[in-house]
A and B are shown apart, each in its own frame.
Chain A
Amino acid sequence: MKFLYRRLQALAPLFEKGGRFERLYPLYEAVVTIHFGSSDTTRGRVQVRDALDTKRFMILVIIALIPVTLFGIYNVGYQFYAAIGEPASFGSMVMKGLTVFMPILLTSYAVGGFWEVLFAVVRKHEINEGFLVTGLLFPLTLPPTIPLWQVALGISFGIVIGKEVFGGTGKNFLNPALTARAFVYFSYPAYLSGEVWTAVSSSASRLVGYTSATPLGVAAATAQPQAVTDALSEAGYTVMHCMIGLIPGSIGETSVLLCLVGAAILIVTGVASWRTMVGSVLGVVVTATVLNGLVSDTTIPFLGMSPLWHLVVGSFAFGAVFMATDPVSSPDLKPSKWVYGFGIGVLTVLIRVVNPAYPEGVMLAILLMNVFAPLMDYSVAEYRVRKRIPNGL
């Protein structure tokens, strides 16, 4: 290992300023540091530095995503065999899940990595580890039936327009993974809504008379005088089902329980803000409670969905834990994190319930609040600055 390290170090002059492959320095830097970390030493007056770096920061997000990813792979296979009505072993379910998920993941990483490297080389900035997270988050928000060319287009839009045109990770104001998903969602709506949540073609599912409507789909389609809860239990959904997550949905979003595991990892390691998460839960609870109070015979039944159901269905848990807490696109200051989280919760429920065209509102809620994050920070900062005793020239 030391030998390999020395060999890599020996190549450094080729890539440094004036070297033959000077332009490819970001690629070289990425290869060396991803294997051995950085060997830089401190400059300037601060002689010692903390062990935490952005690689650790991002890798912890990926570790927190492993449970939902593994479960997502299993669930894709589980839903497939449930849909075609065949009994199957655990192994074959996982195999089926892998054959569906791995191509999506690899496409996302390969295309996303291509853009990241291209921009790093042209714009002369380092290749940022952030794309490893984006490249994993994006596939987890997709249905298993997504065509690979759409994955490629989506991640390209997310990385290029969502991030790189602004200067790369750290300069983006939108969550790149959600930007990618929004692009696919609005460009190819038929592929991201309706009966797309199980990895079988719709003709096959018709064969066994199986419907793969998600809980949100069921709730949105409920008509008076039936209550949402009744419709959901009629479709076979209970709160417990949704917590465990063996239900149709986007690959990574279904298991609320494992999202909570991820949340625990992120909070314990201090990577994600618990304020954002708690704020968004509060937002959902408050808004759903208020809307529940407005229910009458003339309103749509969706309005009456209880706060608990709002929390466990759809991608709320996944979004609040992994998407909303992206440090770059969420606000910097603690008070604004509360407002930001709360706003996500409010908007999620409003978009779900009030606008029948979008049964799921998490993605749009987070992107919208991303846009307002700088304004929140500005307001909090100005408030704090007013309280300071001025120190001018």
Chain B
Amino acid sequence: MKKPERITIKKVFDVRFKGEPSPECRVLPVSPRIGVSLANLPSIKPKLVVAESDTVVQGQALFYDKTNPHVYVHAPVSGTVHRLVYGPRRQLQCIEIATNSALPPLAFERLLTPPTSAADTKSALLERGLWAYWRQLPFNTIPRPQDTPPAIVVQLANPEPFHPRLSAVLPRVANDITAGLRILQTLCPTIIVVADANESINLDDWSDMAQVVRVDADFNHCSPGAAIYHLKDSDTYNHAWYCDWQFLVKIAQTFATGVYANQSYITLSGYSDTADAHYQVTDGMDLTTVAPPIAKRMVWGGLFSGIAAAESFFLPVGIDAVSWVDTTETVSLMPFLALGAAKPSFTRAYLGHFLKPFTPPSTALGGSYRDCVSCGHCETVCPVHLMPQSLLRQVNADDTDTAIRYGLLDCTQCGVCTYVCPAKIDLSAQFTATKDRLYNEVNA
């Protein structure tokens, strides 16, 4: 692993949107109903261990993954299983729990010092239902407990717009992050902490526990996949594990208190000037209690890699940002002839590139679907130096071997190539689909 203190990346993607949530952090009470939504749990095949109208307590197992039978997901609150929501082909989508805070949480053994061996740490994490927060490259799946991570990347900043800033909540969580890093140290000697160089956080406390890298933040370069790409010196690190700082806080608190930690920090953005802020919430929170539905598209996660939420308003496991994106249709005559001072654009084709109009994000496609015209914009923004247009050709031709050789598995699925494409091709979606197919083939 290369050991720079700072990575500066030449590729620039500097489109900024209006609507950054305020750094103020508010604490929300637990909502009367909680939903454990699987929308953001990739590759998990759930097998329920509770039934409708069962009583569950905070920290009790709800279901496990059939492919990894030791990986359980636990209930964030105590209460009664109110409803099981199934999607197409009877796929479990959400477990709704009617909250009952009178029930005491499940008590685990308190671990005041980190476990002494990797095996102990793993079994402690598995027992406490914290394993499902891990992710592994290159498929962004939940790693198998029996594997040993070649490296662990801890993400201190999510570079996508409107994600929680660690600086907003640092005083509350700094000690937990330190404790969490101690626990990770037992799992793997190579721990990389990736921070945004533009965010002023004192990282000195952690620099003797892990390799701390500040990324001079061009968009999306401090994602774990991009960090590994720029730091790796051999292919061993391709299967690195990663997590964000919230996971460290969660494991540190659960280990120290013996109670399943159910608090997360999230941001709301694009909802209203008064509501856009940081929030400390209970996992699986029913968001309609703070933000009733409005005529905007509600997005779980980032603007570039989020999920458009359809009906459910329960915060999915592992989602830390909720955005509402404007869907208003604007009609103007021959919009492509405009000077475009108010149009945010990565390319110089509109004046907005130079003036940086700083407009709120919108769901407008901004054009029609066309074939690739080889403009090369995707190549200029890719954080892992792929040639997306060439890669897309291999993917379309179903030449997976060449696609892999061209770096398909390095793709971090950040969505920036899709954002800039003037032919409106969803490159990122095609790469993701191919990667998912590959994962299923390999693990069939």
Contact = CB atoms under 8 A, between A and B. Distances in A.
Interface string A369-393: 0000000010001001100111111
Given A46-B426, A47-B297, A377-B390, A392 B368 contact: no
A135 B375 CA distance: 20
Interface string A50-67: 111111110110000000
Interface in B332-375: 332-337, 340, 343-350, 352, 361-375
B274 interface: no
Interface in A27-85: 29, 33-57, 59-60
Contacts of B428: 44-46
A289 interface: no
6 contacts: A46-B415, A46-B418, A126-B368, A128-B371, A170-B371, A377-B390
B348 A46 contact: no
B345 A51 contact: yes
Given A46-B418, A48-B17, A273-B376, 16 more contacts: A38-B368, A39-B364, A45-B305, A45-B306, A47-B297, A47-B363, A48-B363, A49-B365, A54-B370, A170-B372, A171-B371, A333-B390, A381-B390, A385-B405, A391-B138, A393-B438
A168 interface: yes
Interface in B377-422: 377, 379, 385, 387, 389-390, 404-407, 409-410, 413, 415, 418-422
A57 B373 contact: yes
Nearest to A333: B387
Given A59-B336, A390-B405, A51 B350 contact: yes
A332 interface: yes
Which of B349, B385, B410: most chain A Cβ within 10 A?
B349
Nearest to B234: A389
Interface in A89-129: 125-126, 128
Nearest to A393: B442
B348 to A, nearest CB: 4
B361 A47 contact: yes
Which bucket holds chain B's interface residue count?
35 or more
Interface in A271-316: 271, 273
Contact of A51 (B308, B329, B340): B340
Contact of A328 (B373, B407, B415, B421): B373
A50 B406 contact: no
A220 to B, nearest CB: 35
Given A50-B422, A333-B376, A38 B349 contact: no
Nearest to A32: B368
B365 A42 contact: yes
Contact of B350 (A43, A56, A169, A332): A56
Contacts of A391: 138, 235, 238, 404, 407, 409-410
A334 B335 CA distance: 30
Contacts of A385: 405-407
Which of B407, B413, B428: most chain A Cβ within 10 A?
B407
Contacts, number: 225
Nearest to B236: A389
A384 B387 contact: yes
A38 B429 contact: no
A50 B353 CA distance: 10
B364 A49 contact: yes
Contacts of A211: none
Given A36-B332, A50-B422, A270 B349 contact: yes
B382 to A, nearest CB: 12
Contacts of B366: 37-38, 49-53
A5 B343 contact: no
Nearest to A42: B363
Contact of A47 (B299, B336, B423): B299
A167 interface: yes
Interface string B193-224: 00000000000000000000000000000000
B39 to A, nearest CB: 12
A37 B349 contact: no
Contacts of A273: 376
Nearest to B15: A50
B334 A327 contact: no
B307 interface: yes
A167 B371 CA distance: 9
A60 B297 contact: no
A60 B336 CA distance: 9
- 10 smallest A-B Cβ distances: which pairs? A53-B367, A170-B371, A51-B343, A37-B335, A40-B365, A270-B348, A46-B415, A55-B336, A46-B418, A56-B336
Nearest to A51: B343
A330 B365 CA distance: 27
